[in-house]
Structure 1
Amino acid sequence: MADQKLFDEKTRRKLEQLMLVASRVRAGAMKGERRSTKRGTSIEFADYRDYARGDDLRRLDWNIYARLERPFIKLLEDEEDLAVHLLIDTSASMGWPQDGDKNLNKFLYAQRLTAGLAYISLATNDRLTLSTLGEGRPLQYGPIRGRGYGLAMLNYVSTLQTQGIVDLNTALKNYAVRGGRPGLCFIVSDLMSPNGFQEGVNALLGKGYE
């Protein structure tokens, strides 16, 4: 299988026992695994949000869908959600070394780290978005949610390839604008960019990403 070079079944089982934690949890999305420590009536309706692949269809408001022809999910008052954003650098510098032991390749390490974090996120039902940082138009996968997307995600990450040069400042600024609901953001990169990366990171922080 395409994902075997990333990690095996034993490693996946270990990853399922972990959880990503943010210093601030964003209100406004349905969760199954992650519950608030606040006391209250968790069955009370609070708001709506757009449907994401993997959401529980029992939370879909069919009346709203009939009127607007867009799927919306009902949110509950005392539930909390974590949006996870994984940005992986696919520029040519990540492909070093090209010769010798393939296990020492930078990009293979980046793929394993990205896939591991993504697998943890899906296992705990977080809202996951993956995107490339590279030359040309970024490739985005998600947002998705739920364990059922685990193997498809691994296959997606394993097929990514390196090429060209990336301007990290520009790429990160663009993601800050188009990335959707802010949350926990991981940048998997060697940070080898001609114009640096701090301005891009500041743009993400300014939009509320951690």
Structure 2
Amino acid sequence: MFFMSRKKAEMVRAEDALPGRAAAIPTADTHFLSGRPLTLSVPEGMEVAMFGMGCFWGVERMFWKLEGVWLTMVGYAGGFTQNPTYQEVCTGQTGHNEVVRVVYDPKVISYETLLQVFWEGHDPTQGMRQGNDVGTQYRSGIYTTTEAQAQAAQDSRAAYADQLRKAGFGAITTEIVPAPSFYFAEDYHQQYLAKNPNGYCGIGGTGVSCPIGTGIAQAG
């Protein structure tokens, strides 16, 4: 068991990753709560953010509750396998992370506020795991869509790292990279905790506040 957990916590090499498939995995047509089409299209004036924080069920719930968030969706990103299934991602042989893609209105909610929810909503010092969930799919990641987002993410990491150090935590392991291809997760994963309010999700924050997150976004 320990050996399997250790292997799942090691990033697979591209040449060893599962091949995947050309066709997209079927997913939900609409958002379970808002009824809006579950699509990669972005309405005019909206912007996109993408985060990995552990089990994407609980992460998505954190973001869909925020005023100014237009649409949330869960999926896989940051790996090598084209159009992976959940079962494939769970093997650790795709390289993908469980991520939430957030479409938001920057006139209502700032990117910095989304970053604050990200940092405070999980423990970004745990490497390839989050709580009892072990594997590369549970790693901490910020996947940026603009240079301004990338700068804001780097600045926020530096600020939060200082706060975590003072509280006795180790170094931040969060990856901050340009947003890779996003692959929709299966229908039943979308808005899972709205459909299953008592469902398990093993994420939890550090209890340390992140000193950002007010005002209208400057990033984006």
TM range (shorter): under 0.3
Q: Which structure shows the bigger proportion of residues in helix conformation?
A: 1
Specify which structure has the bigger relative contact order, considering alpha-carbon pairs within 8 angstroms and separated by 6 or more residues: 2
- Bigger radius of gyration among the two: 1
Q: TM-score with structure 2 length normalisation? A: 0.24
